[in-house]
Amino acid sequence: MVRSTDVFVIGGGPAGLAIAIAARQRGLRVAVADGMQPPIDKACGEALMPEGLAALERLGLQLPLEQAYRFRGIRFLSRRLAADALFPFGGNGLAARRTVLHRVMVERAEQVGADLFWRQTVSGITPDGVRVGKDFFRARWIVGADGANSRVRRWARLQASSQPRLRYAFRRHYRIAPWTGHMEVHWGERCQGYATPIGTEHVCVVMASNDPKLRMDDGLRDLPWLSDRLRNAESVTAERGAVTGNLRLKRVWRGNVALIGDAAGTVDAITGEGLRLAFSQAVALAECIEADDLAGYQKVHDRLTLRPRLMARLLLALDGRPRLQHRTLRVFQQHPEVFRRLLALHTGALPPQQLVRDGLTLGWGLITA
């Protein structure tokens, strides 16, 4: 059977649903196919920073507050030290299970009139459209939103020339009342543990490291504060793994094919920025599709990903370096404004140029000297 649409989106994760919603908001006909059945789960820190929340709202989406948790800032902890900073302007982040986010996005995509095809794996593309099982969809535009191992990226010859440094991550949920109003990053010698409160009774924990063999319980042995917190907490989900890292593509479009979300390149999980990027890219891509200007999308994409990529590199300078972690946390404790400004920069409230002027550079110099 042959059908036709304006935009065919391959992958119905957060990025695919976001572009489907944004394109429908501009009146384009949209079809989305995903090989899985909703609500789709995935190993994720499940945190949306304030900018991510704003980007979600631009798509007309809100997470149900009774199934989510507001957090007000970021706390770093190492073996002996802890330091925290609040988001600028009294802002907050929001965290929720991936399945909750996915359900809300599916409902919104249906509501705005996108055609959603679940358990339908796309097996190939041509300049005219997309093959889904025995069917062929004619499409003016094809969007690859098929995640970090994107096949669309390969089909459109948009692969990166070099492989990123991969890190390995595992996620588990624990039944425990949140002990903090912050998202916590626990720094260990071999790994980091990210703890995000996702409801009044649950905390999501991600363990990330360079060691493919390191699992959640190995990591917890390296993170005494976090393991103390979780000692009597029941784990309510199985450990789910993923790889992470900074992957940058030279190009995110060719002809009538554009990539979005993790398919278009990834930023390391430590930034907590993947979802925000996908939502912001979706708004930009829909605008560029309508204007028949995918070159314009490339420019916006490059600008959007620059800051998270730099932040990931900056933060990962601490990875596996306990003395540097200790020095950093000491500086953050003694000069809380340095941490506050770093967080303001991370969340887009501070332009990078101001970093030089206002002395954060000096703070970072203190750390790395």
Ligand X SMILES: Cc1cc2nc3c(=O)[nH]c(=O)nc-3n(C[C@H](O)[C@H](O)[C@H](O)COP(=O)(O)OP(=O)(O)OC[C@H]3O[C@@H](n4cnc5c(N)ncnc54)[C@H](O)[C@@H]3O)c2cc1C
Which is nearer to ligand X, 88 or 144 (by Cβ)? 144
Angle between helices 360-368 and 322-334 (to 10 degrees): 140
Minimum distance, C-beta of residue 19 to ligand X, in the bound complex (Å): 9
Q: Which amino acid is at 147?
A: G
Closer residue to ligand X, CB minimum distance, 146 or 222: 146
Among residues 273 and 338, whose Cβ is nearest to ligand X? 273
- Positions in the binding site for ligand X (CB under 6 A): 10-16, 33-36, 40, 42-47, 52, 121-122, 145-147, 151, 169, 171, 206, 242, 244, 261-263, 269, 272-276, 278
Quick one: CA dihedral 2, 15, 259, 283, positive or negative? positive
Nearest distance from C-beta of residue 6 to ligand X, angstroms: 19
The DSSP element (H or E) to which 123 belongs, if any, is: strand 122-126
10/344 with CB nearer ligand X = 10
Shortest approach of ligand X to residue 129 CB, angstroms?
14
Q: Which is nearer to ligand X, 28 or 259 (CB)?
A: 259
CB of 196 to ligand X, least distance (A): 7
Distance, CA of 269 to CA of 318 (rounded, Å): 14
To ligand X, the closest distance from the beta carbon of 331 in angstroms equals 25
C-beta of residue 191 within 8 angstroms of C-beta of residue 208: yes
| 3-state SS string for 173-226 | EEECCCCCCEEEEEECCCEEEEEEECCCCEEEEEEEECCCCCCHHHHHHCCHHH
Interacting residues of 130 by C-beta distance below 8 A, sequence separation 6+: 8, 10, 33, 122, 124, 136, 137, 139, 142
